[in-house]
Amino acid sequence: MSTKLLTELCSIPTAPFVEHRIVAFVEKFVAKRPKLSLDRDSYGNLLMELRGTGDPKLPRWVYTAHMDHPGFVARRMLEDGLLEADFHGWVMEEFFKGQSVRFFDGDVESVGNIVDYRIGEERKVPEKVRLRVKKPVTPGTIGMWDQGTGREKSGKFYSRVCDDLAGAAAALVMMDQLHRKPPASTVALLLTRAEEEGFIGAIAASLKPKLLKKSDNIIAIETSAMQPYAPQGGGAIIRTGDKTSVFNSDLTYFITQQAEALKKIAEKKKDDTFKFQRSLMPGGTCEATIYDAYGFKAASICVPLGNYHNMDRAKMKIGPEYIDLGDWHSMVKLFVRVAREGHTWEPGMKPLKERVEKRFRQLEKLLSDPIA
């Protein structure tokens, strides 16, 4: 499976509220695939859709990822070569002083170094930053930690951004594969804005659901801070919850069924390239919590992320985010499997109830056996 889309998408500059370069990439992606349609709401969220070949009453499967990453937006040049910029997202104060930031001013790239910053009142992390730059930067220019574009090394993928463009790239690979032979159920990809500033795009999509339907089955995609019990290399993670909430058990059960089916297929072929884990990932809150809070059915699939939000805690400095490529490939395979088998989903965990009730019928009589 090619990682071309992963490398391309994770090399595009982005930050909360300035996701326009990602939007342009997605528009070109859809334009090359005639079976895909693209819609958007008044807030700039995107919905890519592939019509299913089966009963139109089947619920739609909506995968969702966000287009932003913690980053900077240039505001104005000051005296003595200083640039004032806003920082959007959550990165601890200890990681700011002296760090390099690359700004993407049209086709021109320039690097500045952080001189000082002002802490925000609500989240207690830097929000206003001053940087020393060698040449003027246009207001509105995107800035990102200067950690390089996407590259592979020893089975890992490194970039200045994996969260959540690596997840979005996996969904694009899925849509590319499905486009060639559409599944029975309609499949869509919702791409949201400003997740790193408090799920702003997802909240907008939930409050005024032009793009979503209450009948949708939603799968939130993330790259989630790795945990000791959910390590890199262990496979894609069926995320049962985050630090705020637990997700829809019905959908989570169905996804787990599909993962187990894929594992059995791989074992028969003596192929160890598909792996999966199932875990609550409390390193942060993801968009599944928002959709759940607003009455949608939502589950989640993620991969473990190293240097979450570019914070290399071992070295206590800014570093590239990284994921395991095997985990990412497994996530794509699971996405495709769930999409292709989505038409078989029935609410109420029917397969589980059939299994436990079969055992119940076998042993029911012992409940009234006095010498059992």
Query: What DSSP line would sit under 112-134, residue for residue?
Result: EEEEEEEE-TTT-SEEEEEEEES
Q: How far is CA 81 from CA 114, 118, 126, 131, 220, in A?
A: 12, 19, 21, 8, 42
Strand 276-280 versus strand 236-241 pairing type: parallel
b/e code 306-336 from CB counts within 10 Å (16+ = b): bbbbbbbeeeeebbbbbbbbbbbbbbbbbbb
Please tell me whether 179 is known to bind a ligand.
Answer: no
Residue 369's CB: how many other CB atoms inside 10 A?
A: 8
Residue 184 carries which DSSP code?
S
Closest by alpha carbon to 175, among 306, 325, 46?
A: 46
b/e code 101-138 from CB counts within 10 Å (16+ = b): bbbbbeeeebebebeebeeeeeeebbbebbbebeeebe
Three-state SS for 265?
Answer: helix
Does 164 sit behind a cis peptide bond, omega within 30 degrees of 0 on the bond before it? Answer: yes
End-to-end CA distance of the chain: 56
Distance (Å, rounded) from C-alpha 111 to C-alpha 295?
44
Please tell me whether 309 is known to bind a ligand.
Answer: yes
Distance (Å, rounded) from C-alpha 352 to C-alpha 357?
8
Please tell me whether 271 is known to bind a ligand.
Answer: no
Which among 19, 27, 94, 195 is annotated as catalytic?
195
> Which residues fall within 8 angstroms of residue 112, CB to CB, at 6 or more apart?
83, 100, 101, 103, 131, 132, 133, 134, 137, 143
Please tell me whether 216 is known to bind a ligand.
Answer: yes
Please tell me whether 69 is known to bind a ligand.
Answer: no
Distance (Å, rounded) from C-alpha 227 to C-alpha 245?
17
Contact present, 301 and 236 (Cβ < 8 Å) = yes
195 in catalytic set: yes
Which residues are known binding-site members?
Answer: 66, 163, 196, 216, 309
Which residues are known binding-site members for Zn(2+)?
Answer: 66, 163, 196, 216, 309
Q: So which residues are the catalytic ones?
A: 195
